[in-house]
């Protein structure tokens, strides 16, 4: 389980408050299981950016596609590796 930090900005570089963040498993294309902390508390509801455009979540080791939708556009980060070398659970993904 590893924490991922990201941010959203508009085309002018200004932070976007309230952008919707959607995360999918890159392999299965299914919505990813996200957590607020180290795998204990599931993230329930929408994941939105804060007033400074930042967001964070925890996820198991794997490859993820992250989509950011704001009022102007949708952007994507595809094939993002989330990996915790201290995690004893194997996700089956080779790094």
> Which pLDDT score, from 0 to 100, does residue 83 have?
84
Residues of the chain scoring pLDDT < 50 = 90-91, 93-95
Q: What is the per-residue pLDDT across 31-49, written as a single tens digit (0 to 9) for each?
A: 999 999 877 899 988 999 9
Task: Give how far Cα 73 sits from Cα of 21, 55, 69, 94, Å.
Answer: 12, 17, 6, 33
Total-model pTM: 0.82
SS3 of 40-68: the string is CCECCCCEECCCCCEEEEEECCEEEEEEE
């Amino acid at each position: 389980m590893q924490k991922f930090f990201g941010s959203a900005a508009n085309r002018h570089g200004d932070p976007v408050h309230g952008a919707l963040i959607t995360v999918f498993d890159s392999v299965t294309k299914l919505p990813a299981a996200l957590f607020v902390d180290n795998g204990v508390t599931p993230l329930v509801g929408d994941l939105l950016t804060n007033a400074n455009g930042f967001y964070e979540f925890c996820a198991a080791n794997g490859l993820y596609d992250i989509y950011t939708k704001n009022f102007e556009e949708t952007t994507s980060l595809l094939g993002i590796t989330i990996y915790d070398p201290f995690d004893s659970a194997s996700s089956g993904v080779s790094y």
